[in-house]
Amino acid sequence: MKNFTPLGLTLIFLFVMGCDTALYVGSRGMGIQSGEIISASGYTVVKYPYPMDKLWQVVNEVMTDMKASRLTQEKKIAYGRVSGIVHGEKVIIEIRYVEKDVTEVAILVGVGGNRIASIFIHEKIEGILKK
């Protein structure tokens, strides 16, 4: 039993937890749900099998559909950010190039991150992509 370190016990605990796992270190938190949705520091992150340019268009369409006010956009080579106010809450959507035809979308709703609202926006993105 002396061979088990705290790190080893933590890893075993995480594997036993199953599909939904959360880890908190100090004020930072990270969670994984079903291997597809990752939550880190209030952002809900999903990787999509689509090119970045396609997701940039979809993200802007979603923000327009939600009637976002004070809309700001910033696009660079491998990064994009769209933010605005939706129903009184600040929404930030960041997209990052991962590899060809794989793009990561991170969504933060509110100050600390409203996970349910973020997943709702991810579902809107998926709905538009499947059209």
Q: How many domains does the chain have?
A: 2
Please state the pTM of the whole predicted model. 0.73
Range of the structural domain that residue 94 is part of: 37-129
Regarding whether 17 and 78 lie in a shared domain, the answer is no
pLDDT (tens digit per residue) in 66-94:
999 999 999 999 999 999 999 999 999 99
**The 20-25 sheet, strands edge to edge:** 20-25, 28-33, 37-40, 43-48, 102-109, 89-99, 79-86, 69-75
pLDDT tens profile 15-48: 555 444 554 444 444 554 444 667 777 899 999 9
Q: Are residues 5 and 52 in the same domain?
A: no
The share of the chain scoring above pLDDT 70, in percent, equals 72
Asked if 77 and 22 sit in the same domain, the reply is no
> Does residue 60 sit in the same domain as residue 95?
yes
We report the CATH number of the domain holding residue 89 as 3.30.310
Residues 58 and 116 in one domain: yes
